[in-house]
């Protein structure tokens, strides 16, 4: 027996309809990785006689090895792949390089915004598909929105599956109202 769901056989059939894969809940998951702050850290460094360089802290070792005039510098051998930005800068300083770290806040914020925009798009897609799957996509939003909001508020901790279950139950409970709305709409035409 499912916990949190009604035991009415008709409702169980509706819940099974939602839970048994008619809706592919996986397609509503944000598969974009959340932006890693480390990807936006930069290290600027230079030495008299060598041009100033700016590399991402995350790929610093491979980037510094790719510069022909730095490849043979002893500092390259002193750097290790698992060093933090602070450790890299300390090592550069020990070998006579001037350096500073910076954080690309603008591009980081844009990446975070892109991540959340994508999440919102997926949520809207889920809600639209849920209305279709429950057969109420022809009902105006101002009538279905309160039920959808209630399902989201009460079942969001259970994920899309829980929201779909809750919304299905609410739509079943509201079936007489939905039928009355449809009948009034048909008779008005």
DSSP 59: G
CA distances from 3 to 10, 159, 161 (A): 16, 15, 13
Domains: count for the chain: 2
Q: Is 86 a member of any domain?
A: yes
DSSP 33: P
Q: Give the end of a domain, one of 60, 91, 106.
A: 106
Give the strand order in the sheet containing 50-56.
50-56, 41-47, 98-103
- Write out the residue range of the structural domain in which residue 68 sits: 40-106
From first to last of its 189 residues, the chain has per-residue pLDDT tens of 334 444 444 454 555 554 555 788 889 999 999 999 989 999 999 888 778 889 999 899 899 989 888 888 899 999 988 898 999 999 999 999 999 999 999 999 999 999 999 999 999 999 999 999 888 999 999 999 999 999 999 888 888 888 998 998 899 899 898 888 888 887 766
Query: What pLDDT, on a 0 to 100 scale, did the predictor assign at position 4?
Result: 45
Q: Is 118 a member of any domain?
A: no
Q: Is 122 a member of any domain?
A: no
Q: Tens of pLDDT along 19-62?
A: 555 788 889 999 999 999 989 999 999 888 778 889 999 899 89
**69 and 99 both lie in a single domain:** yes
Q: Is 153 a member of any domain?
A: yes
**182 and 145 both lie in a single domain:** yes
The SS3 assignment for 130 reads helix
Contact at 8 Å (CB) between 42 and 102? yes
Which positions ≥6 away from 23 have C-beta within 8 Å? 129, 130, 133, 160, 164
**145 and 96 both lie in a single domain:** no
pTM > 0.75: yes or no: no
Residue 53 CA to residue 71 CA, distance in Å, equals 13
Residue 2 CA to residue 16 CA, distance in Å, equals 10
Contact at 8 Å (CB) between 25 and 161? yes
């Amino acid at each position: 027996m499912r916990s949190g769901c009604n035991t009415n056989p008709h409702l169980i059939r509706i819940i099974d309809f939602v839970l048994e894969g008619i809706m592919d809940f996986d397609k509503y998951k944000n598969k974009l990785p959340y932006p890693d702050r480390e990807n936006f850290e930069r290290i600027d460094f230079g030495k008299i006689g060598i041009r100033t360089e700016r590399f991402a802290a995350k790929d610093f070792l491979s980037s510094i090895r790719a510069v022909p005039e730095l490849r043979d510098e002893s500092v390259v051998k002193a750097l290790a792949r698992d060093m933090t930005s602070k450790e890299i800068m300390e090592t550069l300083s020990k070998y006579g390089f001037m350096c500073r770290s910076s954080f690309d806040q603008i591009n980081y914020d844009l990446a975070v915004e892109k991540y959340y925009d994508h999440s919102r798009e997926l949520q809207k897609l889920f809600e639209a598909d849920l209305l279709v799957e429950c057969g109420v996509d022809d009902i105006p939003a101002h009538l279905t929105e309160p039920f959808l909001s209630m399902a989201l508020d009460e079942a969001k901790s259970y994920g899309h599956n829980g929201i779909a279950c809750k919304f299905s139950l609410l739509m079943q409970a509201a079936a007489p109202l939905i039928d009355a709305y449809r009948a009034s709409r048909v008779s008005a035409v």
